[in-house]
Structure formats: structure tokens, C-alpha cells
Amino acid sequence: MRTLARLEGIVTDPVYTGKALAALMALCKKGELDAGKPVIFVHTGGMGALPAYAKAL
């Protein structure tokens, strides 16, 4: 979550999109995705949950 926000200016929720993004980043670090091929990550929302996590963020 913080990495995407810092590098790309995209804020995600910590419950759904944040966890999915963390899993995608883990796959990249493990080398399980082809380095020469594009990866598409669809950010479908979840912003409504952000106020509930304001102190944690």
C-alpha cells in the first residue's frame, strides 16, 4: 500500500486491494512472473474503507 502510494501516487485500501497488491508484489519478488511481460493490476476501489484505518496508515 505505502509503496504504491509513494511510487505512483495511488492510494489503496488495506483490506482487499492492499492485500492483493502485496500478493502481486510477492510474486514479482519470487520471480514467478515473466520479467519481460506486462502485468495488469486492476484497482477496483475500496476507498470507502480508508477512514476506518486512518490511525494505522
Full-model pTM? 0.66
Q: What is the percentage of the chain residues whose pLDDT exceeds 70?
A: 79
**DSSP code string of the chain:** -HHHHHHH-----TTTHHHHHHHHHHHHHHT-S-TTS---------GGGGGGGTTT-
pLDDT, residue 44, reads 76
Q: Return the domain boundaries, the chain.
A: 2-53
CB 33 within 8 A of CB 16: no
For residue 48, what pLDDT band results from cuts at 50, 70 and 90? low
More confident residue, 27 or 35: 27
Radius of gyration of the chain (CA): 12
7-26 pLDDT tens trace: 888 878 777 888 888 899 89
CB 4 within 8 A of CB 10: yes
